[in-house]
Amino acid sequence: MKIDRAKLRKHVNITLTCEPDDLPIEGNALASGDDAEDRRAEQWIRDQLARGNEWAWCVAIVTVEFAGVIERDTLGACSYESEADFKRGGYYEDMIGEAIERLAERLEDQNDALVTYGLI
């Protein structure tokens, strides 16, 4: 049975968290081709982290949950001014869509198994 993704989205709990990224800032924050610009971006991240801005260099994690079934989508090497700043970008909505897609597929697989074994 195919689940309507738009309807499912209306019923899932969505959470966004961030965790420190172990990926080195240097060489990964920006690859502009301008070494001075890259160093400025890297310094901004280090300064922001020192001020407690966990969004300055993190792994963003979107979690969707429906009826006890959980799926996640993650994105590393994120550098933002805040959670709100991250949510304004297109990645947040894309990540929700990816997590909901996996959740729907998992629920469909579970339903198919229940039907196969005559449980529903």
pLDDT greater than 90 at residue 70: yes
Mean pLDDT of all residues in 51-71: 98
User: Which of 1, 117, 8, 3 is closest to 67 using CA atoms?
Assistant: 8
The model's confidence at residue 119, banded by pLDDT at 50, 70 and 90, is confident
User: Which residues are registered as beta bridge partners of 74?
Assistant: 61
Of the listed ranges 47-56, 76-85, 106-115, the least confidently predicted one is 106-115
Domain ranges of the chain: 5-21+55-116
Torsional sign, CA 108, 69, 12, 114: positive
Mean pLDDT of all residues in 62-85: 97
Q: What is the pTM of this model?
A: 0.90
- pLDDT above 90 covers a percentage of the chain that reads 90
